[in-house]
Structure formats: structure tokens, C-alpha cells
Amino acid sequence: MHVTFSADDLAFQEEIRAFFRDEYPADIRAAREAGEEISPDMQTRWQKLLYEKGYAGINWPVEFGGTGWSHVQKYIYAREEGLANAPILVPFGLNMVGPVIYTYGSEEQKQRFLPDILASNTWWCQGYSEPGAGSDLASLKTRADLAGDHYVVNGTKTWTTLGQFADWIFILARTSSDVARRQEGISFMLIDMHSPGVTVKPIIMLDGKHEVNEIHFDNVEVPVNNLVGEEGKGWTYGKVLLQHERTNSSNTFRSEYRLRKLRDQVRQPVRGAAPLNEDRNFMRRLAAVEVELKGLEYIELRTLASVSSGKAPGAESSFLKLIGTEIQQKIDALYMDAAGYYALPYRPDATVGAGNETDSALRYFNFRKATIYAGSNEIQKNIIAKHVLGL
């Protein structure tokens, strides 16, 4: 695929570059450059700034506040955002539940939820995985039983990212067991996290951070108006959401940014040793990842073109998720190799430049999850085999 920018596209590119150069808040930029965790307040402030600039809802329809950008403009924005090392948007509202609501929700739901999602006035989390239902999501056990004008929800969701900050959660729950296929009888609904009976329990990751949670629902009453679309059609809606999540899992240009930083790092002598770029084996591996990343970029271009024409991302999203997450893990491994002994966990005295080499190990361990979330990479291979190869 050959990408040619028109005069308008080049003007747009300069506008976006100027924004990230001149309006990217200094404190957030500094935290990102130092590899520090972005606080919830910083995250919300950043997303609100994008909203005020008209940069939120990149793939949303214009009638719901979307940008109306072409696929080339979306590509340009994603590239400039990644190379600026800007914070990753919390995806659960803008990129996940928002598209489900504007596609399948009622007019009341659209008016009630979409403006606050777009403006980042509400924080959402995702309730899909369960202790016994991860990649095999159709085996979920959380139930939602109709009782008059509300559902009574009981069950547990796990690996709920940033659920400790969330105002709302969207879940898949079983509303009927009298079905021919396990994928039937599952519904998609929206739950206020402050509802009586909702309990959030932290799960501490290997890097010591409270990133994910287990969320318990004990006779939680959910108004029937919070059911999205038709009862029993949640599997269909959930698949659309997962396609968007997989598309956003590639992080192509953020990976490009990390490779650039690594190339700069390995040019420098460390503790009297020769620069790592003199190690031909290491540089061969780095170059191989760069080649893979360029191929991923063109897959992403095709996917953006498909989405911009009104289609939901299909098997392309599985390619992006599969290749993108494997590349992220390969880059993590390169950083670990570059740090050597000093990547051993919990060595706060081990530093190179402005960064902390211990972070290389912590990120390496944390992001082993990348090939599992949004549907494991083994599942993505099955999807590709079925929809692309016809197997």
C-alpha cells in the first residue's frame, strides 16, 4: 500500500504536530518521559483536553460528536500521538462501550451516556472475564434475572482493569440458560458501580501495582433501561466491542517510539563497556522487530480504511492484536537484554540516563498479559484461520 498525503493532509499533520509540540501539558510529558505512572487526574485532564480540541471520538460518527476524519487523517493522528509518547487513552468508554451504545443502544441511552463518555466525564470499566471464563467467554456464569422493572445480577468479574476508579461498568451476563448454543442467552448491560451489592477487590500485579480487580455482584439491581439492544444478543454486541479492543491493542506507533528510544540508548557506552550497537546479534534482532513493525503499520492502514467506510474491523483486528502484542513483547525482551544484570527486579539504584533499568523487568513481566487480553493470541489464530483461510 502506498500512502500519498494531499495538501490538506499535510496541513492536518502540521496541526497535529503543533498540538503535541505546544499544548501537551509539561507535567504529563515529563511523567511519560520518565516512565512514571500517569495518575487518574492526569489521565482525565489529558482526555478532556483532547475533547476540547475536538480530537476525542476519532472513530465515532459525526452525529454523535466524532471527528469526521478520513482514514488517512486517523493514521496521521495515531502516528503523531504515538511518536509524542502521549498517554494511552483509557479505552473502555471512548473505544469500547461508546461504539456499542451508538450502534445498538436506545435513543435514551445515546442521549444519556454518549456525551459524558465523549467528554470523559465518566470513567468506565469492562466486565467480561470471570474466574472460570476468560478466552472461553461463552462459559460465563454471571446471571441477570428479570424481576419486574429491573434485573438482579449475581456473579463475579475478574481482571477488571482500573475498575477501582470506574463510575460505570459494562458487562456480559447470562439472562437465559434455555438455549441451543452457549453464545445465546447472553445480554449486554450497563451497571452503576455505586449500586448496592457491587464490591471491588484489588488484584496486585507482579510489578506491585494495583491495576486490575475482581468485582463481585451480590443481588445488584439494574434497571431494564440499562439493557443495551435486545436481550440475549449480548454475544453479538460483545464481539463488535472486542474487534475494536483488538484493533486498539496493536499500539504500532508507541512501539516505534520505544524502538527509537532503544536505538538511542544502545549507542551510548554503559559503565565502561562498549556500546551495545556494536553487538551484531543484538542489532540483528532489533532490525528484525523494526521490519515486523513496518508490516504491522500497513495492516493498520487497511483496517482504518475499512472502519472509515462504515465497517466494523473484522479479521484485520485479529492480525493487529496478534502481531502488535507479540512485537510489544519482543521489544520488552530487547530492553531486558540491553539492561542485562541491571534489569533484575527491585534495584532502584540501577539507572541508565534518565530511566530506571528495573522498569524494564517490571514492564516485561506485566506485559506478558498482552497476548492474553482482548482474546488470547491462540484464539486470534483460530479467527484468522476461519475467516481468512476458510479452514
The pLDDT of residue 212: 94
Contact 39, 46 (CB under 8 A): no
Tell me the mean pLDDT in the region 341-350. 59
* Dist CA 144 CA 135 (whole Å): 21
pLDDT at 69 over 60: yes
Query: Would residue 245 show up in a list of annotated catalytic residues for this protein?
Result: yes
Residue of 189, 218, 51, 221 whose CA lies nearest to 124: 189
- Residues 165-219 have pLDDT tens digits of 999 999 999 999 888 788 889 999 999 999 999 999 999 887 778 999 999 999 9
The owner of cell 501539558 is: 25
CA angle 138, 141, 142 (to 5 degrees): 110
Dihedral pair phi/psi, residue 159, rounded to 5°: 55, 35
User: Helix/strand/coil (H, E, C) string of the chain?
Assistant: CCCCCCHHHHHHHHHHHHHHHHCCCHHHHHHHHCCCCCCHHHHHHHHHHHHHHCCCCCCCCHHHCCCCCCHHHHHHHHHHHHHCCCCCCCHHHHHHHHHHHHHHCCHHHHHHHHHHHHCCCCCEEEECCECCECCCHHHCCCEEEEECCEEEEEEEECCCCCHHHCCEEEEEEECCCCCCCCCCCEEEEEEECCCCCEEEEEEECCCCCEEEEEEEEEEEEEEHHHEECCCCEHHHHHHHHHHHHHHCCCCHHHHHHHHHHHHHHHCCCECCECCHHHCHHHHHHHHHHHHHHHHHHHHHHHHHHHHHCCCCCCHHHHHHHHHHHHHHHHHHHHHHHHHHHHHCCCCCCCEECCEECHHHHHHHHHHHHHHCCCCCHHHHHHHHHHHCCCC
The pLDDT of residue 240: 73
The pLDDT of residue 37: 82
For the stretch 142-161, what's the b/e string if a residue is b when 16 or more beta carbons lie within 10 angstroms of its beta carbon?
Answer: bbbeeeeebbbbbbbbbbbb
Of 211, 245, 297, 357, which one is the catalytic site residue? 245
Task: Write down the pTM of the prediction.
Answer: 0.82
Confidence of residue 385 (pLDDT cuts 50, 70, 90): confident
The one-letter amino acid code at 164 reads: Q
Tell me the mean pLDDT in the region 354-372. 71
Domains of the chain: 7-89 (no CATH), 123-233 (2.40.110.10), 249-387 (1.20.140.10)
The pLDDT of residue 367: 81
- Residues 29-66 have pLDDT tens digits of 999 988 788 899 999 999 999 999 999 999 899 999 99
* Dist CA 324 CA 387 (whole Å): 19
Tell me the mean pLDDT in the region 112-118. 97
* Dist CA 75 CA 296 (whole Å): 13
Residue of 188, 141, 146, 145 whose CA lies nearest to 169: 188
Query: What is the dihedral angle through the alpha carbons of 55, 59, 65, 69, rounded to the nearest 10 degrees?
Result: 60
- Residues 278-293 have pLDDT tens digits of 999 999 999 999 999 9
**More confident position, 328 or 245:** 328
* Dist CA 92 CA 334 (whole Å): 30
Dihedral pair phi/psi, residue 203, rounded to 5°: -120, 120
Min mean pLDDT across 15-24, 86-95, 103-112, 200-209 is at 200-209
Set of cell numbers at residue 218: 451480590
Set of cell numbers at residue 148: 419486574
**More confident position, 14 or 348:** 14
* Dist CA 18 CA 23 (whole Å): 8
Set of cell numbers at residue 336: 531486558
For the stretch 352-371, what's the b/e string if a residue is b when 16 or more beta carbons lie within 10 angstroms of its beta carbon?
Answer: eeebbbbbbbbbbebeebbb
Contact 193, 166 (CB under 8 A): yes
The pLDDT of residue 244: 59
Q: Which residues pair with 223 in a beta bridge?
A: 150
The pLDDT of residue 221: 98
* Dist CA 46 CA 25 (whole Å): 8
Dihedral pair phi/psi, residue 57, rounded to 5°: 60, 50
* Dist CA 379 CA 321 (whole Å): 11
